[in-house]
Structures are given as structure tokens and as C-alpha cells.
């Protein structure tokens, strides 16, 4: 039930990402095909299923539907389900759901337009800071230190790489820090950079990416943060056993 609910939430995040990028209202106009403008019926909007049944094509004009739609739905569905499996019904689920939602939206806007939107990150950051006054295993100062760690590290990288890291990434890492605290934020960044370098290197070798092209970093931030937040301790133990 949680998985299915989260799929619908993911479907809403798709719409939210697209309309915030276009600075449109997210309640009006009603959902329509971006190609033929035909208004979509409720059965065209069932997460995952509609895409599968329609075999990735618009029912009305046959133009292809972006695979980002089912991908965004599945990402939201799976990650919120895993968060629930991991945390159960406890207060920490609230910052977890906000973090995952912001990260899903960051992945969607970064993949579409190489942007991470302040209009999503900043209000969520303020909300999480307020929540950290009352929710969390550690004190508020621990999580504030996490936020400063994320912000500081990314600012440093951005200065050293001369703008290789965007302002959106910096603010996003401040938010991640407020949820994860300092050490897991560092782990998240190490994992994200490692995966980014690995995938980026392979893509450049295969000729799929140009060396100078900016690579959307949000998907790596998503995976790095998810692993650090929910499996951070396991990763540390595994890492220490290597030595
Ligand atoms: Zn169409």
C-alpha cells in the first residue's frame, strides 16, 4: 500500500518538476500530452501501468512518452517504501520523506534541464531545520553542523573546480547535511563522487558524453545519500573490514 501511494506521489513529482521548470501552476492546466496537447484521461495517468499498457507512446498522437515519467514514479515508490521498511512508523520518517522527495525532484529537474531548483530546496531546508529542533537522535546542533558540513564541502569543491559544481548542488548538500549529520554527509559525498567519476569515465570512454559537458550530478547525490542515510553503518563496517 505504501509502495502504491508513493508511486502516485512520484507521478505528482513528475508534474511538479516539469511545471516548476516552466514556471507554470501545478494545478492548471490539467494534465495533457506535451506534443498534441490532448487532455489526458485518468486511465492515462496511472503510475507505471499506463506507460506499460501504452508501450511508451501517447494514446492520441503516438509520440513517445519520456521514460523519465515511469522512472520518477518507480524511484519515488521504491525509495519511500525502503525508507518505511528501514525506519518503521517513527518520527524520523518525516525528515526522511522530505529528503527523498527533494532528492527525487532534484534528479528530475537535473536530468531534464540540468537545474536544481531553489524554490524546492530552500523551503524544504527551512522546514527540516525546524523539524530538527524536535526530531532526531542527536541535538539540533549536531544536525546544524551537518548542514554546515554539506554546504562548506560543496562550496569548497565549487571554488576549487571553478564552477564545476552548481549553486543548486551546494544548497542541496546543506539540506542533506541537516538530515544526515556531519559524518554520513561526508560518506554521501564520497559515494556520490566515486560513482559519478566511475559512470562519467565510462560514458566518456564510450563516447556518450563530451569531456566538457556538465554531467547531471543529482542522480549520484541521490544514490550516495540514500546509501549513507540507511546503510551508512553497514558501509563503514564493510570498509573497515577491508583493512
Ligand atoms: Zn499526444
For residue 61, report the distance from its CA to the centre of ligand 1, in Å.
4
For residue 75, report the distance from its CA to the centre of ligand 1, in Å.
24
Q: What is the DSSP string of 9-44?
A: HHHHHHHHHHHHHTT--SSSSPPB-TTT-PBPPGGG
Distance CA 202, CA 183 (A): 29
For residue 32, report the distance from its CA to the centre of ligand 1, in Å.
8
Per-residue model confidence as pLDDT tens digits over 80-129:
999 999 999 999 999 999 999 999 999 999 999 999 999 999 999 999 99
Per-residue model confidence as pLDDT tens digits over 175-204:
999 999 999 999 999 999 999 999 988 988
What pLDDT sits at residue 214? 74
For residue 74, report the distance from its CA to the centre of ligand 1, in Å.
22
What pLDDT sits at residue 203? 86
What pLDDT sits at residue 213? 72
Domain boundaries, the chain: 1-89
Distance CA 69, CA 108 (A): 9
Q: What is the mean pLDDT of the chain?
A: 93
Quick one: which of 238, 214, 231 has its CA closest to 82? 231
For residue 201, report the distance from its CA to the centre of ligand 1, in Å.
37
CB 154 within 8 A of CB 165: yes
DSSP designation for 103: H
What pLDDT sits at residue 182? 95
For residue 23, report the distance from its CA to the centre of ligand 1, in Å.
22
Amino acid at each position: 500500500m505504501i509502495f502504491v501511494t508513493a508511486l502516485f506521489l512520484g507521478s505528482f513529482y513528475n508534474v511538479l518538476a516539469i511545471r516548476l521548470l516552466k514556471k507554470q501552476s501545478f494545478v492548471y492546466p490539467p494534465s495533457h500530452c506535451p506534443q498534441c496537447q490532448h487532455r489526458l484521461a485518468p486511465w492515462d495517468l496511472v503510475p507505471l501501468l499506463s506507460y506499460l499498457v501504452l508501450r511508451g507512446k501517447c494514446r492520441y498522437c503516438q509520440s513517445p512518452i519520456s521514460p523519465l515519467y515511469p522512472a520518477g514514479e518507480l524511484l519515488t515508490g521504491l525509495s519511500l517504501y525502503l525508507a518505511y521498511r528501514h525506519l518503521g512508523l517513527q518520527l524520523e520518517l518525516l525528515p526522511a520523506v522530505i529528503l527523498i522527495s527533494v532528492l527525487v525532484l532534484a534528479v528530475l529537474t537535473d536530468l531534464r534541464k540540468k537545474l536544481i531548483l531553489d524554490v524546492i530546496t530552500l523551503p524544504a531546508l527551512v522546514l527540516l531545520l525546524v523539524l530538527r529542533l524536535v526530531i532526531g537522535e542527536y541535538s539540533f546542533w549536531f544536525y546544524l553542523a551537518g548542514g554546515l558540513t554539506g554546504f562548506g564541502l560543496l562550496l569548497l569543491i565549487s571554488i576549487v573546480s571553478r564552477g564545476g559544481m552548481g549553486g543548486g548542488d551546494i544548497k542541496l548538500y546543506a539540506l542533506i547535511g541537516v538530515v544526515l549529520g556531519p559524518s554520513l554527509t561526508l560518506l554521501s559525498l564520497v559515494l556520490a563522487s566515486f560513482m559519478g567519476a566511475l559512470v562519467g569515465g565510462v560514458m566518456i570512454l564510450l563516447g556518450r558524453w563530451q569531456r566538457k559537458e556538465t554531467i547531471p550530478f543529482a542522480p549520484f547525490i541521490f544514490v550516495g545519500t540514500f546509501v549513507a542515510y540507511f546503510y551508512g553503518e553497514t558501509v563503514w563496517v564493510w570498509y573497515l573490514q577491508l583493512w
